[in-house]
Amino acid sequence: MFFALDSAQSWLARPDAENPRQPGNAFEIVSEVARRSGAGMVRDRMSWAEVNPARNRYVWTYYKTNAELLKERGIRLSGMYHDSPGWCRNGKGLLPTNLLDTYVFAKNAAEAFRGCMANWEFWNEQDHGFGQESAWDYAAALKAASLGFKAGEPEATVAIGGFAITPVLPYADVVMKNGAGCYFDIFNIHTYRPLRDFPEILTDIRAHMERCGIAGRPIWFTENGSGMEGAGREESFMPGIRQHSFDQELLIAEYLPKMMISMQMLGVSRDFFFVLPPYSENGGNKDWGLMRRDYTVKPGFAAFATLVDQLGDAVPEGEADVGDGVKGYLYRHRNGSRTLVYWSISELDTEPVRPGLSAADPKLRRIVLPPQEGPLCGTDLFGTPFEMKEEALTVSRFPSFLHGVTGLTVIDRAILPPVARDPEAGEDRTVVFRTELSEDFLLSSGKDYVDIRQPEARFKLEIWNLSGKPKKGTITVSGGDCTGIPPSVSVPPFGKAELALRFSPAYDGAFKTVLAVGGVFNGRRVTPLVVPVQGLQAMAGSGRKLEITAMLDPVNWRKNASGEMQIAYDEMEEAIRFHTVFPAIEDRWSYPEYELQLPQESLKGALGIALEAKVSSPAAVRQMLVMAVPGEGERDLYLRVAPDGEWEKLTVQFPAGFEPDRIRRLRIGVNSAAGEITVWLRKIRFVYAP
């Protein structure tokens, strides 16, 4: 079934000493609430470090308890973990570095939860906060975990860890260039963006999948939620925790079915609402959950349960024209009858995140349907039945369901989701490359490429054999000159070989290359290790530079933020200063915009942009971007940089195939977790080929 919930109950329903109203049997209550919602699948979390504190020691604790509670109620699980114990890491980062340990844990977890887990996700939002390592490091760990899941449960379905950012970042492309597509069955992603952005999101995802050779895989949104209602407007009974007002609860009830129906019409295979139990973020200001802190349910729960009850077994047909200002979608049931789900368009359908939205105005409209064969029965969003006895129908912002509808024509067909299939097995998947790069390499803030600091850079290549057979083969390295490669390499069963290598990059005219490792073992190709290289230091040192002094003048910048922005020249820092104070909303962003003064500031022929920057609170920066904005109707280019509290020299390169001369505007700024933030910029230069 398409409709699903992220329950996260093993974490969010744990005993909470600070919540005096939490019931003692919270795990069982959340499991039962999930059952009563009609959900056939929920998503839960697990901690590898917690359940596997030492090698060969497993303590599944309440994670297994919750899996069994859900299984008893006929609910399948999508399982996920995004941590690793210290004993399987090299002392830094979050991802495991020992691929055999990664394989063994996944195998044992799949065996222990057999019959409970419908599928496994490896990691969570690895492109964002839960992954410090590179895209190629994640790909190597995913390969090992996938092999382990399939060894422990041959019928296991594996999903790639849910990507956090849309549009999909270059990080995700680099993961796929490392051959990760052979190791998962389901493409997994998250979004909390407004409803109006969904078509653009799916277009971008499908473009990524097409260029990476994974088109046709099912798309799951394992986290999909709303920030449209803003921060909680009321104080709760728990100090420091704000809660939704009833009006905000109604906004979520309206948003949830619109969100899920829109995703289903766009061809998504499964959608998980975030989140079922009570949960708070952003210092207690953001209230998540379809349940309150006392474990009563909100209107959004009733909306989800009604949605499942009315459309859970139905197939989406597409959009029907039912009148101005109204959305209508047709579903067909197994018995051939049709249900029309319809609603009046509100701010949730059309606007970006902004403070002060309210559901107080029901947005009532009247529509007239074609003549029907008799009175029709319907159900409103909260499960109350009604009967339609006349052709005119009153529509509100809250979706309703009308059964047995005839005479309506689909004007925009639903995109049918693909049928799940096994990834093609051309390569020997059991041989996995992993690398430890020396300090001669500098990882980008986007974790999708490296800069090389030395003419000859040192790195260690690990060749893992995650099978019961010995492997012998040859290795090739391209993208430059590599020394230290032996004529052949032998790897024992469930073992590894290590090579100490040196790499001298062979840059193209844009100061780019790719360190690519390939191999053939026991007569079969293996998936590659791919490390994109951007010679930023080489480019900055050799390229022709044009300093844009006009970018230090506040008059030349346009305010562009979700809060109140002040722009000024800071004489002490000799820099342009952007200070932004945000209202009580989730989506805090500050991206002041500079209009290029053409033709003298044209980026035609440019390789990239160099600048110096600092921020008032680096820890509060969710991401910092240089945005290159082309003409109308063209996609913006997002280039990530690393924020710092001191002046930092930053350089970004334009990707291959991008045409810099199309850029009309630049936006440079941050997404913030704090209520206010300041960004300083200076010495902004365009870098051209020497």
Residue carrying structure tokens 């999948």: 209
Do 292 and 350 fall within a single domain? Answer: no
CA 376 to chain CA centroid, nearest Å: 41
Residues 527, 632 within the same domain: no
* 3-class secondary structure, 66: helix
Q: What are phi and psi of 411, to 5 degrees?
A: -100, -20
Closest of 512, 632, 22 to residue 277, by C-alpha: 22
Per-run averaged pLDDT (10 residues), the chain, 690 residues = 98 97 98 99 98 98 98 98 96 93 99 97 95 97 99 96 94 98 97 97 97 96 96 96 98 99 99 99 94 99 99 98 98 98 98 92 97 94 94 96 97 91 78 98 93 96 99 99 98 99 96 97 98 90 88 97 97 97 88 95 93 96 94 85 93 89 96 96 92
- For residues 119 and 84, membership in a common domain is answered with yes
Where are the strands (E) in 438-563, listed by range?
A: 441-443, 450-452, 457-465, 471-478, 480-483, 489-491, 495-505, 512-521, 524-525, 529-534, 544-547, 557-558
Residues 528, 556: one domain? no
Contact 644, 650 (CB under 8 A): no
CATH of the domain at 283: 3.20.20.80
CATH code for position 454: 2.60.40.10
pLDDT of residue 425: 66
Cβ(278)–Cβ(29) under 8 Å? no
**Are 584 and 486 contained in the same domain?**
no
417 is written with which tokens? 């989701």
Is 20 in the same domain as 141?
Answer: yes
Position 373 scores a pLDDT of 86
Q: Is residue 162 a part of any domain in this protein?
A: yes
Give this prediction's pTM.
0.91
For the stretch 206-248, pLDDT in tens is 999 999 999 999 999 999 999 999 999 999 999 999 999 999 9
Number of separate domains in the chain:
4
pLDDT of residue 419: 80
In a domain, 192, yes or no: yes
Burial of 9 (0-12, 13-18, 19+ CB in 10 A): buried
β partners of residue 403: 339
Instruction: Say yes or no: 393 and 272 in one domain.
Output: no
